[in-house]
Structure 1
Amino acid sequence: MKFVRDKLSAKFFLFLVLAFILIQIPIIGNYISIINTLIHESGHAFISLLGGNVKTISLFMNSEGVTYSNQSTWIGSFFTCLAGYVFSSFMAFLSFWFIWKKKQTVLIDILLGFIAMNLIFWVRNLYGLFWLVSFGLVFLYLLIKGSQSFRNHLLLLISSVLLVDSVKSAYEIMYISFMQPKSAGDAFNLAQLTGIIPVQVWGTFFFAQALWFCYLGLKKGFYKI
């Protein structure tokens, strides 16, 4: 039993390393990382819909993204700014939870749902449309043509990318919040909204919550998958 668990843990570690290497590769890495950007921006959009509206979402070749929305209240603006990093970190953990529960089909439906919703309602820039269509078609093709084992490994790789990139992007926003506070995106916006909580605290919060969800995801991966 211990041998089987160690073997599964080694596989999980290998996929994390592979995900980290993949997102470092020029062009390809940015293309793959957009899956995390898509979920990040969708988090902003979902919260925006609770008290306002979403104009568009743009996904860029450098793996960055932006959500354009209107909010009618301070609380709506606050939670919209807060949602992106938290939602992507939570989704990374949730992906491993679905794999642990052997509900890969649900995870597939969720990922395709993100792609379809953004394609239909929000993303309008050229590269964003290209990414949604190309990634969606390739994802569907691999799922249809691949064996169940291949499908499960593909989902494990995507989940690993989400986990690694959610931590990486949260660390980057924390670093920027100390080095160039006005360029710290959501952390800077939250500092402006709250007034008394500096941008560095928000940047650190984003990184801390990413580490927490990463820890929860690692527990599922190393001991359950």
Structure 2
Amino acid sequence: MSFVREKFSAKFFLFLVISVLLIHIPFMGNYFRVINTLIHESGHAFVALLGGNVERISLFMNSEGATYSNQSTWIGSFFTGLAGYTFASFSAFLFFLLLGRKKQILLIDIILGFIFINLFFWVRNPYGIFWLSSFAAGFLFLLIKGSQGFRDHLLMLIASILLVDSVQSAYEIFYISLQSPQSAGDAANLANLTIIFPAPFWGALFFFQALWFCYYGLKRGYYKT
């Protein structure tokens, strides 16, 4: 059992290192980071639908994204603003939980669900359409042509990229909230909505929840196997 645990630990470390390297490759790194952006913006959109409507989502070449929605209530705007980083961090946790429980097929369905929902209903900008189409085509091709072992490693790589970038992007917004609060995206929006809680408060919340989900995603997910 200890040998198996050490083997999985080494594999995890390897995939996390590969993910860190991939997302920092010039130009190509931003392409991989859009995986996290897709989940982040989808989180905004899903919550926005509970009390309003989603006009569109944009995914950009620099790995940033934007969700354009209409909310009729303050509470709807608040939870929509809160949803992006928390949904991305929770999804990273969920991906590793599914891998740990050998639910690879369900994970594939979830990834394709995110892609096709966004492609058919929300994403309209040229790069966003290109990214969704190219990622879906490449993902499906590799699933069809690859062995089961290759499929499992591909899913682990996607989960690792999402995990690493969910933490990195949350740290970035935390840092920006300290240096330039009005430019801190979701943290700035929440600060404007709540008045008494400044952008650094929300930036810190996003960062620490990302660390929490990262820790428990690894502890209760794949390490259980």
Query: Normalised by the size of structure 1, how large is the TM-score?
Result: 0.98
Matches within 5 A, 1:23-172: 23-172=23-172
Once residues 192 and 70 of structure 1 are traced to their aligned partners in structure 2, the CA distance between those partners, rounded to angstroms, is: 17
After superposition, what is the alpha-carbon deviation per residue over 1:48-90, rounded to whole angstroms, capped at 9, x for unaligned?
A: 0000000010000000000000000000000000000000000
1:213 aligns with 2:213: yes
Once residues 64 and 37 of structure 1 are traced to their aligned partners in structure 2, the CA distance between those partners, rounded to angstroms, is: 6
- What root-mean-square deviation, in Å, do the aligned CA atoms of Structure 1 and Structure 2 show? 0.8
**In the alignment, is the contact (CA less than 8 A) between 1:48 and 1:80 conserved in 2?**
yes
Consecutive unaligned residues in structure 1, runs of 5 or more = none
- The CA deviation at 1:3 is 1.3
Once residues 220 and 35 of structure 2 are traced to their aligned partners in structure 1, the CA distance between those partners, rounded to angstroms, is: 21
Once residues 201 and 178 of structure 1 are traced to their aligned partners in structure 2, the CA distance between those partners, rounded to angstroms, is: 9
- One-letter identity of the residue aligned with 1:18: I
- The CA deviation at 1:2 is 1.2
The aligned counterpart of 1:18 is 18
- The CA deviation at 1:27 is 1.0
- The CA deviation at 1:223 is 2.4
- One-letter identity of the residue aligned with 1:22: L
Once residues 102 and 2 of structure 2 are traced to their aligned partners in structure 1, the CA distance between those partners, rounded to angstroms, is: 21
- The CA deviation at 1:221 is 5.4
Helix, strand or coil: the match of 1:210?
Answer: helix
The farther-off stretch of 143-152 and 215-224 is 215-224
Query: Normalised by the size of structure 2, how large is the TM-score?
Result: 0.98
**In the alignment, is the contact (CA less than 8 A) between 2:45 and 2:80 conserved in 1?**
yes
The aligned counterpart of 1:195 is 195
After superposition, what is the alpha-carbon deviation per residue over 1:131-168, rounded to whole angstroms, capped at 9, x for unaligned?
A: 00000000000001100000000000000000000000
Could you list the runs of 4 or more consecutive aligned residues of structure 1 that deviate by over 3 angstroms after TM superposition?
none
Once residues 151 and 220 of structure 1 are traced to their aligned partners in structure 2, the CA distance between those partners, rounded to angstroms, is: 22
**In the alignment, is the contact (CA less than 8 A) between 1:15 and 1:156 conserved in 2?**
yes
**In the alignment, is the contact (CA less than 8 A) between 2:187 and 2:199 conserved in 1?**
yes
Aligned residues: 225
Helix, strand or coil: the match of 2:141?
Answer: helix
Once residues 108 and 28 of structure 1 are traced to their aligned partners in structure 2, the CA distance between those partners, rounded to angstroms, is: 23
- One-letter identity of the residue aligned with 2:189: N
Once residues 167 and 110 of structure 2 are traced to their aligned partners in structure 1, the CA distance between those partners, rounded to angstroms, is: 21
- The CA deviation at 1:222 is 6.3
**In the alignment, is the contact (CA less than 8 A) between 1:15 and 1:160 conserved in 2?**
yes
Helix, strand or coil: the match of 1:63?
Answer: coil
- The CA deviation at 1:217 is 1.4
Consecutive unaligned residues in structure 2, runs of 5 or more = none
Once residues 208 and 200 of structure 1 are traced to their aligned partners in structure 2, the CA distance between those partners, rounded to angstroms, is: 12
- One-letter identity of the residue aligned with 2:185: G
